[in-house]
């Protein structure tokens, strides 16, 4: 009798084992090969989805930080109050409203500083007009008030003020400006001159500490605008982008162009 007839089950089992072994080897080979995601970059675990996921988280984090920064800024400026005993070598006021100048001249009358600089006055505004507006005596203006006309913006104020301080040799200065403008003003001044002691004297137009300022559109708009400018000023300091903000430079650039 043929041998294949004697062991029919053994041959069948052998064939089955060979087939299963080949299938196992094929499966192992496929597992060792790099898998390709179905759908390419738009796949559920694709690179684009990961970028969009982490990018979205980064945007949310940045927005949260900016919002938290605004709330901190708004709280700090709405609670600013002038010092009870204001005293320094000199006084500077950053123009932007007659109330600022009135307050600065009043500080000079009280003897809070030896001399006053009104920085960033419009070229068409004369010292006599400012004196009459503040109802000050000619003697006070003649002896102790300087009017600066070069500054175009807060950066220009810082440059004009620092030069004036250097010329007179002052070590401490009262800075008079609106409360919402104070953080950016001090940032620019201290960036320009770290040796001088700048003492903030905020001008408060209205009591925002005990009112719901966020429900007043004009106040909210002003705070948001100034906060945005403060962020730009901070970023400008980080990247080293400079500008002197002076009229004389602006005229020179315009003439050369």
Q: How confident is the model over 55-83, as pLDDT tens digits?
A: 888 899 999 998 998 989 988 888 888 98
Can you give the pLDDT at residue 18?
63
The helix/strand/coil state of 46 is: coil
Can you give the pLDDT at residue 54?
80
Asked if the model's pLDDT at residue 210 lies above 60, the reply is no
| Section 170-174 average pLDDT | 97
Asked if the model's pLDDT at residue 178 lies above 80, the reply is yes
| Section 206-211 average pLDDT | 62
Ranges 51-55, 113-117, 241-245, 246-250, most confident:
113-117
77-256 belongs to which homologous superfamily? HUPs (3.40.50.620)
Ranges 17-26, 161-170, 245-254, most confident:
161-170
Structure tokens at 86: 């204001």
**More confident: 149 or 27:** 149
Q: What confidence category does residue 145 fall into, taking pLDDT thresholds of 50, 70 and 90?
A: very high
Task: From 174, 165, 180, 155, select the one nearest 97 (Cα to Cα).
Answer: 180
Angle 96-205-172 from CA coordinates, rounded to 5°: 65
CB-based contacts of 236, cutoff 8 Å, min separation 6: 242
Query: What percent of the chain has pLDDT above 70?
Result: 75
Averaged pLDDT score across all residues of the chain: 82
Gyration radius of the chain over CA positions: 36
Structure tokens at 89: 């070598």
C-alpha 61/C-alpha 197 separation (Å) is: 36
**More confident: 239 or 254:** 239
Asked if the model's pLDDT at residue 137 lies above 70, the reply is yes
User: Strand pairing of 116-119 and 90-94?
Assistant: parallel
Can you give the pLDDT at residue 42?
54
Ranges 21-35, 109-123, 196-210, 236-250, most confident:
109-123
Task: From 136, 138, 94, 90, select the one nearest 115 (Cα to Cα).
Answer: 90
Can you give the pLDDT at residue 256?
37
10 Å CB burial of residue 174 (0-12, 13-18, 19+) is buried
Can you give the pLDDT at residue 104?
95
| Section 95-121 average pLDDT | 93
The helix/strand/coil state of 154 is: helix
């Amino acid at each position: 009798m043929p041998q294949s007839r004697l062991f029919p089950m053994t041959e069948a089992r052998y064939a089955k084992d060979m087939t299963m072994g080949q299938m196992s080897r094929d499966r192992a080979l496929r597992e060792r090969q790099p898998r390709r995601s179905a759908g390419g970059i738009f796949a559920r675990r694709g690179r684009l989805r990961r970028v969009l996921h982490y990018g979205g988280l980064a945007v949310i984090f940045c927005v949260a930080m900016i919002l938290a920064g605004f709330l901190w800024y708004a709280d700090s400026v709405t609670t600013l109050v002038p010092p009870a005993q204001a005293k320094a070598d000199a006084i500077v006021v950053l123009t932007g409203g007659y109330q600022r100048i009135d307050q600065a001249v009043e500080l000079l009358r009280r003897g809070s500083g030896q001399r006053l600089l009104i920085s960033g006055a419009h070229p068409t505004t004369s010292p006599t007009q400012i004196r009459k507006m503040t109802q000050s005596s000619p003697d006070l203006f003649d002896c102790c008030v300087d009017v600066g006309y070069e500054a175009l913006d807060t950066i220009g104020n810082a440059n004009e003020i620092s030069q004036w301080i250097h010329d007179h040799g002052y070590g401490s200065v009262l800075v008079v400006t609106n409360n919402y403008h104070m953080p950016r003003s001090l940032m620019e001044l201290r960036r320009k001159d770290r040796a001088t002691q700048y003492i903030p004297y905020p001008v408060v137009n209205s009591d925002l500490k005990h009112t719901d300022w966020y429900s007043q559109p004009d106040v909210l708009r002003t705070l948001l605008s100034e906060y945005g400018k403060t962020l730009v000023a901070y970023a400008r300091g980080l990247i080293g982008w400079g500008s002197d903000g002076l009229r004389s430079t602006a005229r020179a650039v315009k003439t050369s162009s």
